[in-house]
Amino acid sequence: MPNRKFINIGNGSVVAVERIISILPPESAPIKRLVQDARDKGFLIDATYGKKTRAIFVMDSAHVVLSAVNADTMVTRMIEQAE
């Protein structure tokens, strides 16, 4: 396995940094449709553990991951980890 970097997305869940295509806020209608489409196709991973969704990760595998951690916080964590 290659040397992968992971980032904590909350509640002890992690994702591989190099597999992330984008981190999105959950408020807009197109993003809500993206989440619903992923749910319908079986590609949704809910890592919120019942908390409010604050960030949505679109992965290169077509999976959509929901996180309870704010998108801005996630970007900050990624920048800090890269340094």
**Dist CA 57 CA 68 (whole Å):** 11
DSSP character for 31?
Answer: H
Answer yes or no: pTM beyond 0.85.
yes
Q: Say if residue 2's pLDDT is above 70.
A: no
| Closest to 48 measured CA to CA, from 66, 33, 63 | 66
**Residue 79 pLDDT:** 86
Q: If pLDDT is split at 50, 70 and 90, which confidence band does 17 have?
A: very high
- What is the signed CA dihedral for 70, 36, 49, 67, rounded to 10 degrees? -20
Q: For the chain, what are the domain ranges? A: 6-82
